[in-house]
Structure 1
Amino acid sequence: MILHPQLEKDCFVIGRLPLCLLLLINDANYPWFILVPQREGITEIHQLSDEDQQQLMRESSQLAAVIEKEFNADKINIAALGNMVPQLHIHHIVRYKSDPAWPAPVWGKVEAIPYLDEEVKILSSHLAQSLTGAGLKI
């Protein structure tokens, strides 16, 4: 599967799940993850096979549960927009009542704060361990 150039530019690859590529948006304002089903030419969830739809729901739900717990979230925003990037991708954004965009959507509210390389390594390793502990091996 070829990752859309915008996702490639804006994200770090954290790992591969059974169906999806797990990405981290390079914006330390919010713990912000993206699942990209590893299927060519898919722009909408309904275009996935029934089995892939079910697997996407499992991976999304498990990711949401892990990041809610690990980041002590007030809310998890999950969205599949695709207006700018047509490749199917599902955002999982940890939200806090104290975050810079609360309660509005995160898009375009504040300038992104890039992660330091070491922060990405630590976050990736910790998330991989937590997901594995929840039964979703990277």
Structure 2
Amino acid sequence: MMRGQQHGFILDRQLNAESEPLIWLGLCELRVMNDRRWPWLILVPHRTDIEELFELTPLDLTMLTFEVNMVGQALKDRTGCTKVNVAALGNVVRQLHVHIVARSEGDPNWPGPVWGHGLREPYRREDLHQFAENIRQGL
């Protein structure tokens, strides 16, 4: 079991298939969305049967806010993006997770959303590792 992981926690199958683990932060596992079109990170709180932010305990919600801010700042610092988008949608993947996406003018579908735009373009393995290491250093 990963350090800090809640007993019985199982990562959603789609999140597991479309993203790669980066680092454990405390409440959340930080993952890299395997789509090279945007620098895109995902925070997954290791809590069982949680779909909505308001289902978290006050302490967990505070910790999630701290981790979102920390990751968002690192993403902005490391990519030099114009804007950092943060969203917890959950319409397709019900397990609570938070997307943190670096957006810049001229990127695919700017200024529209990243969801539902074209097909996912996986990283080359070495590029994924380089991006992950860049973010890790920023944290």
1:62 paired residue number: 70
Identify the match of residue 43 of structure 2 among 35, 41, 45.
35
Unaligned runs of 5+ in 2: 1-8
The residue identity in structure 1 corresponding to 2:57 is S
1:17 paired residue number: 25
CA distance in 1, matches of 2:24, 2:86: 19
2:4 paired residue number: none
1:122 paired residue number: 130
Is 1:44 aligned with 2:52? Answer: yes
The residue identity in structure 2 corresponding to 1:96 is S
CA distance in 1, matches of 2:137, 2:77: 13
Is 1:106 aligned with 2:119? Answer: no
CA contact (8 A) 1:13 1:22 kept: yes
CA contact (8 A) 2:22 2:31 kept: yes
Unaligned runs of 5+ in 1: 132-138
CA distance in 2, matches of 1:113, 1:84: 19
Is 1:76 aligned with 2:110? Answer: no
CA distance in 2, matches of 1:5, 1:115: 19
TM-score by length of 1: 0.92
CA displacement at 1:110 relative to structure 2: 2.2
- My pick for the range that moved more, 115-124 or 30-39, is 115-124
- CA RMSD in angstroms, aligned pairs only: 0.8
Paired residues, what number? 131
TM-score by length of 2: 0.91
Q: Percent identity?
A: 37
